[in-house]
A and B are shown apart, each in its own frame.
Chain A
Amino acid sequence: MRCKKMVDVGRRQFLRGSAMAAAGAAATTVTGTAAQATPANAQVDYPSGKLANLADLVVNEPLDIEYPDADSPGVLIKLGEAVEGGVGPDGDIVAYSVLCPHKGYQMSYNSDDRTMNCPGHFSRFDVEAGGQQVWGHATQNLPQFTLRVAENGDIFAEGASDLIFGRPSNVL
């Protein structure tokens, strides 16, 4: 099951609700950049969001996170064994979107076999294999968040591997 403990998701958290309804120019408006002056970057600029500190993590107990903004729920998990793409001193920390990339239902974590499971249409994803869809209807694997661990143990998300359900751009 998803852990209900909320953690700091960083500086983008305030960008939610009615602020996001201000349409396409919202991001540039908030950062105060003149739209005409700067050409758009070739790739999405991701925020750096603090998710947790290494000390907050317990093996196989997922932490709820929100990234790249508060409307995009995710999960941060210390697996206890190194996995490809894992970070931290043990190479075992991973983070994913929990919106099923099929129809956007919020998934829950099965700690027994370490999969994310979708109650909408029964898809499931392997958090130990880079979010690979074990079985399901999604046409991509689970968006995995790119993580960085600071010297003080703070864990930051700074990107995503795939498009998050329900948005045309990972950063709205």
Chain B
Amino acid sequence: MAYKRQIDRLPIPPADAKVHNVTCHYCIVGCGYKAYTWPRNKQGTLSDNAFGIDLGEQQGADGTWVAPSMYNMVKQDGKDVHLAVVPDKECVVNSGLVSIRGGRMAENRPSKVTGTQNQRLSDPIVWRNGVWQPTSWDDALDLVARVTARIITEGSEDDLLLSMFDHGGSAGGYENTWGTGKLYFGSMKIKNARIHNRPGYNSEVHSSRDMGVDELQYRYSDYEVTDTIMIVGANPLETQTNLFLNHMRKGLENGAKFIMVDPRRTVTVNAAEEVAGAENVLHLAIDPGSDMALFNALFTYIVDQGWTDSEFIKNSTFQSGEAVPEDAAHPSGLGSLEYALATCRTSTAEAAEICKVDESDIIKAAEWLAKPKDGERKKAVIAYEKGVIWGNDNYRTVGSIVNIALATGNIGREGGGCCRLGGHQEGYYRPSDAHVGRPATYVDQLLISGGGKVQHIWACDHYKTTLNAAQYKSVHRKRAAMVKDAMDASAAGTREQQVDAIVAAVNAGGLFVVDVDIHHSQIGQNAHVVLPACESNEMNLTSMNGERRLRLSEKYMDRYGNSLPDCLIAAKLAQNMERVLREMGHDDYADQFKGFDWETEEDAFMDGYHGGNPDVTYDRLRAMGNNGVQEPVQGFENGKLVGTDRLYMDGKFTRHGRDDKKALFCAASWRGLQAPGKEQERANHKFWVNNVRANIFWQNQFLDKDNDFIQDRFPYPFIEMNADDMVEIGVNPGDLVEIHNENGSTQGMAYPTDTAARGQVAMVFGSPAGSQGNVVNPGVNELVLPDYKHTWGNIRKLADATPAARSVSFKSKEYTS
């Protein structure tokens, strides 16, 4: 039985409610919302309210409505206030649309009144006497600084393993990437760093950048005026919901054709067919991992047909052969179109065989992308995401996509673009990471092999979201337990004795783990010190979305308990490091930790982002509201920040830093499944285990796991399966099944899916109740980009559906008209 809220009336915001600008802190699209707050003992009326409309009338479709999930009661300046977070019709990103994630921002706020999200951490906690005990910031950070300082001075900074978000929104943003970046890449030069979703500190789109093309160069309105939209390895209706509904959809309604490259049929394909008509939608359900062969064939065919933009190629791309040779830092050579094509050349017939799709469909895709229409060049937007970013042969495959966009002149022009769709928002401002090197350290493997002595984790939960997770967890738990034992044994001693005991334990193979997060995560169970962070709107936060739209999402409520913004936690940690190092007699080293005298997140913003972008201040961003300004900011005129519609409109490409400002093509050479062990894994197992997302969950469910509406729908991670496959292994809808292979095992709930091909299953990523990463092998590309998407395993039944699973709907997710 579905979860019923049993709410049939909500408080009405009064006309004098405070109004705050909010950018949704979940996905990269960054929809605009307005947060209304008002005193607990006040309310508006049906006729006199903050919305200025007659709420006594039934509102029509798209009318203003506060859903129960958009309401909560939170603390503001120490007092309980009502909160309503409502989509902003004036924001050009979403035009009042709301996603199943953003529409729950209010109810996913911690509230002592309504009881929501009381899992949030309120105070630092330290492992003491066999449990976690609350303590003060001073006490917790003193321990962290003393242990860290001992380890990096007795050894080196390479003994510090760092896991650190690099994104915007939520925990990230310019303030927090700067705070952490200044500490680890400024005061220190930490080399053994990784990012929340990959085991090294590296770009997910190295090749696009090396070709001169930033991965976010268009604006969302380009989808509305283009001729063709090609989406690769992405499912935007689910994961960039209002980009699809508010922009791609308008393009389809204006006559654009839609190409989807993905082995799996998704709700995006279905919705595109509903909007554009099935005859204008082409789903290329390629064999898993064969993307590059398809794009090489499209590139070849388009060039051979003469459908390229010769003026653009002549003026804006490199002309004389090889510009960058293939080497350890470049998994393929880069150069002119002719240079790249010599390697990429693939016939449509060859691609049809590799990709297992009809040759005629490949030709149709090429025609839709580039065949001139009435003698005019066609406009096309090409967008890609995890299907290739987390897919086979990342560098070359992304390069093979960008080749097509460059050959057809579809970058830097209205109605064009070749972009990643993105996951989180962006918000990166850090000192140089050049010391990390390229390829970056494969930090997970370093940890598994016993490397590192102290680990600082910032808003990452590798238990749920890394590859080779079964082994990672096993080693992590054992190494952390050695330190827990040492801490227990020295619990009654002085701080000095305890630090000695910890250092002895890590020198014997243990790992001292410091975890900064908003809740006590799964990996946090192994931590020795856990530090409570806060989210956007509990602090002011700036980020940019997938079209580089920079906004200030305003603080409207108090931080939970003693939690702090990540940037201020980094500052406090730096100050403690300075103090401890000075006590230890390392004055010069201590001096490196100066410059963190920030009182607020705005101080961190001014120290970092503003330092490099002097036109941008909080006041100016606040005035720009939910439409903000598209980066890069060009100046400040007539009281407004002046932004940039799209990059490279002058035909000069700069992302690679080349003086000639010419874009490069990628010599993408097809080599089958690139990552070690994948081909053998495919040969040995029955099912391809796709790693997929669902609109209902944000990331690894760190908030949603405590949300009744969400957990009622999917009490266990879904595993979409073909019904005939289910019959063959004796599994009914909702039964708990186990996926297993040589890497480990994981479990979920069988969800019959008639569009799933035989032998292909799709498991939702990052679930706290079953980590898909357990069965992903450790294979990465030359630059340490993991291939989460290509995993094969066998499946067996574990148990009949539980009562929770039996009440779930197992009907098709596809809308029917």
- On A, residues with C-beta under 8 Å from B are 20-24, 26, 43-44, 46, 71-72, 84-85, 101-106, 108, 110, 112-113, 115, 117-124, 126, 128-142, 144, 159-163, 165-172
Interface status of B351 (Cβ within 8 A of chain A): no
Tell me how far the C-beta of A36 lies from the nearest C-beta in chain B, rounded to whole angstroms. 16
Give chain B interface residues in 234-293, CB to chain A under 8 Å.
237, 241, 245, 267, 270-271, 274
A-contact 0/1 string along B782-817, CB 8 Å cutoff: 000000000000000000000000011101111111
> Cβ of A132 and Cβ of B808 under 8 Å apart?
yes
- Find B67's partner among A44, A110, A139 (CB 8 Å cutoff): A139
Closest Cβ neighbor of B813 among chain A residues: A135
Supposing A103-B61, A138-B100, A139-B103 touch, asked if A168 and B815 sit within 8 A by C-beta, the answer is no
Among A131, A140, A167, A168, chain B packs the most CB atoms within 10 A around the CB of A168
Q: Which residues of B contact A102 (CB under 8 A)?
A: 98, 103
Q: Which residues of B contact A119 (CB under 8 A)?
A: 817
> Cβ of B67 and Cβ of A134 under 8 Å apart?
no
Interface status of B713 (Cβ within 8 A of chain A): yes
Closest Cβ neighbor of A172 among chain B residues: B56
Other CB < 8 Å A-B pairs besides A44-B8, A123-B815, 9 of them?
A20-B57, A117-B817, A120-B61, A135-B695, A139-B70, A140-B69, A162-B6, A167-B58, A168-B9
Tell me how far the C-beta of B275 lies from the nearest C-beta in chain A, rounded to whole angstroms. 9
Task: Report the separation of the CA atoms of residues A136 and B68 in the bound assembly, to the nearest whole angstrom.
Answer: 17
Interface status of B636 (Cβ within 8 A of chain A): no
> Cβ of B65 and Cβ of A104 under 8 Å apart?
yes
Q: Which residues of A contact B245 (CB under 8 A)?
A: 121
- Find A115's partner among B61, B68, B808, B811 (CB 8 Å cutoff): B811
A-contact 0/1 string along B46-87, CB 8 Å cutoff: 110000001111111111011111100000000000000000
> Cβ of B2 and Cβ of A132 under 8 Å apart?
yes
Q: Which residues of B contact A85 (CB under 8 A)?
A: 1
Task: Report the separation of the CA atoms of residues A172 and B811 in the bound assembly, to the nearest whole angstrom.
Answer: 34
A-contact 0/1 string along B89-102, CB 8 Å cutoff: 00000000111100
> Cβ of B103 and Cβ of A104 under 8 Å apart?
no
Interface status of B104 (Cβ within 8 A of chain A): yes
> Cβ of A134 and Cβ of B7 under 8 Å apart?
no
> Cβ of B807 and Cβ of A140 under 8 Å apart?
no
Closest Cβ neighbor of A122 among chain B residues: B815
Tell me how far the C-beta of A21 lies from the nearest C-beta in chain B, rounded to whole angstroms. 6
Supposing A22-B56, A166-B65, A168-B66 touch, asked if A130 and B237 sit within 8 A by C-beta, the answer is no
Closest 8 CB pairs of A and B: A130-B2, A166-B59, A132-B2, A139-B69, A135-B813, A122-B815, A71-B58, A126-B809
> Cβ of B104 and Cβ of A139 under 8 Å apart?
yes
> Cβ of A23 and Cβ of B5 under 8 Å apart?
no
Tell me how far the C-beta of B713 lies from the nearest C-beta in chain A, rounded to whole angstroms. 7
Closest Cβ neighbor of B55 among chain A residues: A168
Task: Report the separation of the CA atoms of residues A21 and B59 in the bound assembly, to the nearest whole angstrom.
Answer: 12
Tell me how far the C-beta of B37 lies from the nearest C-beta in chain A, rounded to whole angstroms. 17
Closest Cβ neighbor of A162 among chain B residues: B5
Task: Report the separation of the CA atoms of residues A161 and B1 in the bound assembly, to the nearest whole angstrom.
Answer: 12
- Find A134's partner among B9, B709, B712, B812 (CB 8 Å cutoff): B812
> Cβ of B61 and Cβ of A104 under 8 Å apart?
yes
Supposing A101-B67, A104-B65, A122-B270 touch, asked if A162 and B58 sit within 8 A by C-beta, the answer is no
Q: Which residues of A contact B12 (CB under 8 A)?
A: 168
Q: Which residues of B contact A138 (CB under 8 A)?
A: 67, 100, 103
Interface status of B10 (Cβ within 8 A of chain A): yes
Q: Which residues of B contact A129 (CB under 8 A)?
A: 1-2, 807-809
Q: Which residues of B contact A163 (CB under 8 A)?
A: 5, 7-10, 67-68
Task: Report the separation of the CA atoms of residues A92 and B70 in the bound assembly, to the nearest whole angstrom.
Answer: 33
Task: Report the separation of the CA atoms of residues A166 and B63 in the bound assembly, to the nearest whole angstrom.
Answer: 7
- Find A137's partner among B4, B57, B58, B99 (CB 8 Å cutoff): B99
Task: Report the separation of the CA atoms of residues A172 and B67 in the bound assembly, to the nearest whole angstrom.
Answer: 16
Q: Which residues of B contact A133 (CB under 8 A)?
A: 2, 713
> Cβ of A162 and Cβ of B56 under 8 Å apart?
no
- Find B100's partner among A122, A139, A142 (CB 8 Å cutoff): A139
> Cβ of B807 and Cβ of A23 under 8 Å apart?
no
- Find B709's partner among A26, A139, A166, A168 (CB 8 Å cutoff): A139
Q: Which residues of B contact A43 (CB under 8 A)?
A: 8-9
Closest Cβ neighbor of A139 among chain B residues: B69
Q: Which residues of A contact B497 (CB under 8 A)?
A: none
Closest Cβ neighbor of B249 among chain A residues: A121
> Cβ of A161 and Cβ of B47 under 8 Å apart?
no
Tell me how far the C-beta of B816 lies from the nearest C-beta in chain A, rounded to whole angstroms. 5
- Find A24's partner among B56, B107, B811 (CB 8 Å cutoff): B56
Supposing A115-B816, A119-B817, A139-B104 touch, asked if A132 and B713 sit within 8 A by C-beta, the answer is yes
Q: Which residues of A contact B712 (CB under 8 A)?
A: 132
Task: Report the separation of the CA atoms of residues A135 and B235 in the bound assembly, to the nearest whole angstrom.
Answer: 14
Supposing A137-B241, A167-B59, A168-B46 touch, asked if A113 and B103 sit within 8 A by C-beta, the answer is no
Task: Report the separation of the CA atoms of residues A114 and B587 in the bound assembly, to the nearest whole angstrom.
Answer: 73
> Cβ of B1 and Cβ of A84 under 8 Å apart?
yes
Q: Which residues of B contact A168 (CB under 8 A)?
A: 9-10, 12, 46, 55, 66
> Cβ of B695 and Cβ of A106 under 8 Å apart?
no
Closest Cβ neighbor of B9 among chain A residues: A169
> Cβ of A122 and Cβ of B58 under 8 Å apart?
no
Tell me how far the C-beta of B104 lies from the nearest C-beta in chain A, rounded to whole angstroms. 5
Supposing A162-B5, A170-B8 touch, asked if A126 and B58 sit within 8 A by C-beta, the answer is no
Residue contacts A-B, CB under 8 angstroms, 19 given = A102-B103, A106-B61, A115-B816, A117-B817, A122-B237, A124-B811, A124-B815, A126-B811, A129-B809, A133-B2, A134-B811, A135-B813, A137-B100, A137-B103, A137-B695, A140-B69, A163-B67, A168-B9, A169-B9
Closest Cβ neighbor of B268 among chain A residues: A122
Task: Report the separation of the CA atoms of residues A141 and B808 in the bound assembly, to the nearest whole angstrom.
Answer: 12
> Cβ of B67 and Cβ of A140 under 8 Å apart?
yes
> Cβ of B2 and Cβ of A122 under 8 Å apart?
no
> Cβ of A141 and Cβ of B98 under 8 Å apart?
no
> Cβ of B56 and Cβ of A44 under 8 Å apart?
no
Tell me how far the C-beta of B1 lies from the nearest C-beta in chain A, rounded to whole angstroms. 4
Task: Report the separation of the CA atoms of residues A105 and B548 in the bound assembly, to the nearest whole angstrom.
Answer: 32
Q: Which residues of B contact A117 (CB under 8 A)?
A: 815-817
Task: Report the separation of the CA atoms of residues A43 and B58 in the bound assembly, to the nearest whole angstrom.
Answer: 20
Among A23, A46, A113, A144, chain B packs the most CB atoms within 10 A around the CB of A23
Task: Report the separation of the CA atoms of residues A84 and B808 in the bound assembly, to the nearest whole angstrom.
Answer: 12
Q: Which residues of B contact A142 (CB under 8 A)?
A: 2
Task: Report the separation of the CA atoms of residues A123 and B270 in the bound assembly, to the nearest whole angstrom.
Answer: 12
Supposing A103-B97, A104-B62, A106-B61 touch, asked if A23 and B10 sit within 8 A by C-beta, the answer is no
Interface status of B45 (Cβ within 8 A of chain A): yes
Q: Which residues of B contact A104 (CB under 8 A)?
A: 59-63, 65
> Cβ of B813 and Cβ of A137 under 8 Å apart?
no
Among A24, A72, A84, chain B packs the most CB atoms within 10 A around the CB of A24
